[in-house]
Structure 1
Amino acid sequence: MKKKVSRTILTLGMAASMALAGCSESKETTVQSSGEEGASSDEQVVLTFWDENAGPQRTPIYEELFKKFEEEHPNIDVEYVGLPKKSAKQKFDAAIAADDMPDVAGVQTSWLPEFQVREALLPLDSYFEGWNDKDNINKAAVNFNKQIVLDNKLYGIPYTQNLDILWYRADWFKEAGVEPPETWDEFFSAVEKMTDNANNRYGFSIRGGDGGSFQLQRMMYAYSGIDHYFDENGESTLDDPKHVEFSEKYLGLYNKFTPQSDITNGYKEMVAAFDTGVAAMIQHNIGSYGEHSKAMQPEQYAALPLPKTDDGKYIAEGGNTIGFSIFKTTEHPEEAWELVSFLSSQESQSFWNQSTGQIPTHAGVLEEQWVKDAQHIQTAFEVLEDANMSFYDPAFYLPDYRSILDNIVDPGTQEVLSGKTTVKEFLTKWADAMEESKQKYDKQFGK
């Protein structure tokens, strides 16, 4: 069991146990930035950067960062390619298969083991060890990225962290005289109380479509208090009776206290339900702050921790950061590292994370005033510093971990919502897939 850490340690190496970054979707975008000609006699270098979660909120952030980078490095141009989250993994898979990869990219932690097995990434250990800023980067997050790959090398520099929470309409709750939920019973009760079908207002919105598997998994473990993904016999805990109990309650809210359209909700649709006044609550992470802050006034919404377990524990998913990686096919590894180190610096991390509302991995940024003033980030610290807080680590190291979520769990959730299968059958299928994957992995790699 991994216990919480103090704020003092957090500022030096915050535990790498936070949820996946906020998710937005858009069409693929390519922006060719061109640096001004400088006095350097070096040959002009063009680096291609792939953003795995592009959108109208985040693309401009990178454009601003690359503009500054090129001003400081006039011999390097950056070509930005923005990939919509829904299709990003498929784009990377195709690029790896064709041996035609970008120089640098944002890479989700859960992709690192598979990409390492496919020999797609450049080890960054020597670059990182020679970097003056290395001691300021979350040590636990860096170590986690090493631990989940077979050769224990560093393939991604984490630059942002997250935590799953509840977002709720504080103004609606106040008007209705309903207290924000602190327990799971209070959560389910509040969903019912805040539903007003006559006025097309619902207590909650479920992410029933693309990417919903991540949120369902995190809520199940937060409810059950289980802090291990497999037991000592290699059996998955996904279909534990407590997870069946939770999922029956949670998915049972659908089309009674949630919109009927939730069955196809991706991130964009779920957030829109909250931001446009259709849903009183959603479960996501602090990374959707950027969208909420543009749609509402500060007094209208707020963040809440996911409720504690019945015995008073907070449980969060471990290892969920996003990092920058260099792909092995780059012809300019030194310049690629210049870009990665620039994007991972205090100034860049501060700009990126403040704009998106997420938690930086750089210790210096954690001391900045905007972090101290952000209600949603302080809510995350409240959870992380709780004496009864611990983490569970998903099986990110399994090369097909992500494909199981995408191809079995997301469609399976929709089958439950549509009444085509039961929660127990769904969770058993999910658990069996993970167990089979683990058995193959253990056999192949001698674990």
Structure 2
Amino acid sequence: MSRRGPLPGLRSRLTAASAVAVAACLALAGCGGGSGGPSGGKGEITFWDGNASASGTPVWQQIIREFQNRNPDIKVKYVSFPIAQAQQKYDTAIASGGTPDVGLMSTSLLANVAGQQALDPLDDRLAGSPLNGRLSPKLLELVKAAGPDGKLYELPQTTNTGIVWYRSDWFKEKDLKPPTTWNDFYTAAEKLTDAGNNRFGFTIRGGAGSIAQALEFAYAQSGIPTFWDASGRTTVNDPRNVAAVEKTVALYKKNTPSADVNNDYLKMNAQFDGGSIGMMQHNLGSYIDHQKALAGKFAGTPVPPSPDGTYVLLSNPVGGLSVFKKSRNKDAAWKFAEFVSGREMNDLWNSKVGQIPANTESATAEWVKGNTTLETAVKVLNDPQTKIVQMPYHLPEFNAITKAESEPLYQKVLLGQMSAKDFLDRLAAKLNEAQAKYKQRRGD
């Protein structure tokens, strides 16, 4: 899954334009109140893949073929669209009553979709499934925390984690240690920079998707283990996070290209794979691109631990399948979701895309051991000492706050037009307001 979800649509807007929503839904293949068919785990189901990609789509098609071979009484109708459209597609379908039977979900989308009472809780189904006890407890916890009421509205399949990718050949040339500590990281950023020869130690993500990465570096350096403090207010603007953001931003134009202020993932990735960058911050999802461009010349390590040696990781979206409430064939929809998170298909999907499997048996498979970066990431994620800072995906406003509202402000910080403290204070104020509204809605 790509890091973070798209901006959530608001149900009120869709309701106000219900005629448009219905028309749009009818125009989308596979929409129309579930695919029907007989209940009892037979018939046809519609599956929406809301993260269509050149690498992922063929894997889903292979999984579907295998599922149908083993379940000849069930036909899976496959509908795919890019992740940037996922929230809009789901919101439109919910407003018109034309949801699929089962859909690819992410914890970054879950609060909004489940909050509209569009999904079935899966707790009881999992309790009676052979999968019970075979899925990562941490990922199950993250999925439940992302929903509106602590129930399981998504069966985990995969997740990601922050990685510092680095040019191992450059490090060898300069006799540098891999960036497994913050001191090593900042030392390397300085020593790898040779601006006259268009070589820079690091590349900052200043454009789309920048806030999640800025916060990931902040919490990892500060060591603050929770997004909310004991009083219920966000820790985003804690002085330790402010200091960490200031330190990262100080690299801009000194050890990074000046064009980084507009960097989205694609631009950042192109710079690294093109040979002008020594280190980049992303996640496991970019492994395949680096392997194609830099095989044997790069390596990756989890984002370094905090000063006391504890890993503090910002939660990445957990991907998986959700069963929609309006499905007329929930048993078959669940059977497909269960199949996807089973050992064999979890191996297939995650080995192809290079991500962390939700299935604990898959996490110890040989294919994981063959990818040193992934193996290390799995160990760090599953280490009992590792702290996971749960991003507040439960807030319907979260994506809007951290994207459309905050990304332009972070660019001002990079350009020296706003202080890191002012930026984080404004972000904190928005998050505290959204959290207060959330608690009010719940009656807390």
Question: If the length of structure 1 is used for normalisation, what is the TM-score?
Answer: 0.85
Residue 427 of structure 1 corresponds to which residue in structure 2?
424
Deviations 1:354-384 (A, max 9, x none): 1111111112212321112220122214534
**1:438 has 2:435 as partner:** yes
Give 1:186-335 correspondences, 5 Å limit.
186-297=184-295, 299-318=296-315, 320-335=317-332
- Greater CA drift, 135-144 or 431-440: 135-144
Residue type of the alignment partner of 2:251? L
Whole-angstrom CA distance in 2 between matches of 1:344 and 1:122? 17
Whole-angstrom CA distance in 1 between matches of 2:428 and 2:358? 32
Q: CA deviation at 1:268?
A: 2.3
Describe the SS at the equivalent of 1:429.
helix
- The partner residue of 1:52 within 22, 29, 50 is 50
Residue type of the alignment partner of 1:212? S
Whole-angstrom CA distance in 2 between matches of 1:308 and 1:133? 32
Whole-angstrom CA distance in 1 between matches of 2:169 and 2:98? 50
Describe the SS at the equivalent of 2:406.
helix
Residue 13 of structure 1 corresponds to which residue in structure 2?
none
Q: CA deviation at 1:149?
A: 3.0
Counterpart contact for 2:41–2:332, Cα < 8 Å: no
Give 1:16-415 correspondences, 5 Å limit.
45-297=43-295, 299-318=296-315, 320-384=317-381, 389-415=386-412
Describe the SS at the equivalent of 2:236.
coil
Describe the SS at the equivalent of 2:133.
helix
Q: CA deviation at 1:246?
A: 1.6
Describe the SS at the equivalent of 1:304.
strand
Using a 3 Å threshold, how does the CA distance of structure 1 residues 236 and 24 change in structure 2: closer, same or farther? closer
Using a 3 Å threshold, how does the CA distance of structure 1 residues 110 and 313 change in structure 2: closer, same or farther? same
Using a 3 Å threshold, how does the CA distance of structure 1 residues 387 and 336 change in structure 2: closer, same or farther? closer
Residue 414 of structure 2 corresponds to which residue in structure 1?
417
Whole-angstrom CA distance in 2 between matches of 1:102 and 1:112? 15
Q: CA deviation at 1:419?
A: 4.0
Whole-angstrom CA distance in 2 between matches of 1:164 and 1:44? 40
Using a 3 Å threshold, how does the CA distance of structure 1 residues 388 and 120 change in structure 2: closer, same or farther? closer
Whole-angstrom CA distance in 2 between matches of 1:153 and 1:317? 22
Deviations 1:326-358 (A, max 9, x none): 222222212211211111111110010111111
Using a 3 Å threshold, how does the CA distance of structure 1 residues 286 and 333 change in structure 2: closer, same or farther? same
Q: Which consecutive residues of structure 2, in runs of 5 or more, have no partner in the other structure?
A: 7-27, 31-37
Counterpart contact for 1:314–1:389, Cα < 8 Å: yes
Whole-angstrom CA distance in 2 between matches of 1:336 and 1:387? 34
Describe the SS at the equivalent of 2:387.
strand
Counterpart contact for 2:207–2:261, Cα < 8 Å: yes
Using a 3 Å threshold, how does the CA distance of structure 1 residues 389 and 134 change in structure 2: closer, same or farther? closer
Q: CA deviation at 1:283?
A: 1.0
Q: Which consecutive residues of structure 1, in runs of 5 or more, have no partner in the other structure?
A: 1-19, 33-39
Using a 3 Å threshold, how does the CA distance of structure 1 residues 370 and 106 change in structure 2: closer, same or farther? same
Question: If the length of structure 2 is used for normalisation, what is the TM-score?
Answer: 0.85
Using a 3 Å threshold, how does the CA distance of structure 1 residues 385 and 352 change in structure 2: closer, same or farther? closer
Counterpart contact for 2:189–2:200, Cα < 8 Å: yes
Whole-angstrom CA distance in 1 between matches of 2:271 and 2:64? 33
Residue type of the alignment partner of 2:339? F
Whole-angstrom CA distance in 1 between matches of 2:188 and 2:125? 50
Whole-angstrom CA distance in 2 between matches of 1:155 and 1:257? 43
Residue type of the alignment partner of 1:358? Q
Q: CA deviation at 1:408?
A: 2.1
Whole-angstrom CA distance in 2 between matches of 1:422 and 1:190? 25
Using a 3 Å threshold, how does the CA distance of structure 1 residues 86 and 209 change in structure 2: closer, same or farther? farther
Residue 14 of structure 2 corresponds to which residue in structure 1?
none
Whole-angstrom CA distance in 2 between matches of 1:52 and 1:255? 36
Q: CA deviation at 1:233?
A: 2.1
- Greater CA drift, 385-394 or 342-351: 385-394
Residue type of the alignment partner of 2:327? T
Q: CA deviation at 1:227?
A: 1.0
Counterpart contact for 2:4–2:108, Cα < 8 Å: no
Describe the SS at the equivalent of 2:156.
strand
Residue 11 of structure 2 corresponds to which residue in structure 1?
none
Q: CA deviation at 1:24?
A: 11
Q: CA deviation at 1:388?
A: 5.1
- Size of the aligned set, in residue pairs, is 415
Using a 3 Å threshold, how does the CA distance of structure 1 residues 149 and 276 change in structure 2: closer, same or farther? same
Whole-angstrom CA distance in 1 between matches of 2:29 and 2:370? 34
Whole-angstrom CA distance in 1 between matches of 2:387 and 2:348? 29
Residue 16 of structure 1 corresponds to which residue in structure 2?
none
Whole-angstrom CA distance in 2 between matches of 1:376 and 1:314? 16
Whole-angstrom CA distance in 1 between matches of 2:93 and 2:417? 36
Counterpart contact for 2:225–2:388, Cα < 8 Å: yes
Q: CA deviation at 1:138?
A: 1.8
Counterpart contact for 2:165–2:282, Cα < 8 Å: yes
Residue type of the alignment partner of 2:199? R
Whole-angstrom CA distance in 2 between matches of 1:444 and 1:293? 47
Using a 3 Å threshold, how does the CA distance of structure 1 residues 144 and 46 change in structure 2: closer, same or farther? same
Counterpart contact for 2:246–2:420, Cα < 8 Å: yes
Residue type of the alignment partner of 1:132? P
- Greater CA drift, 428-437 or 201-210: 201-210
Describe the SS at the equivalent of 2:418.
coil
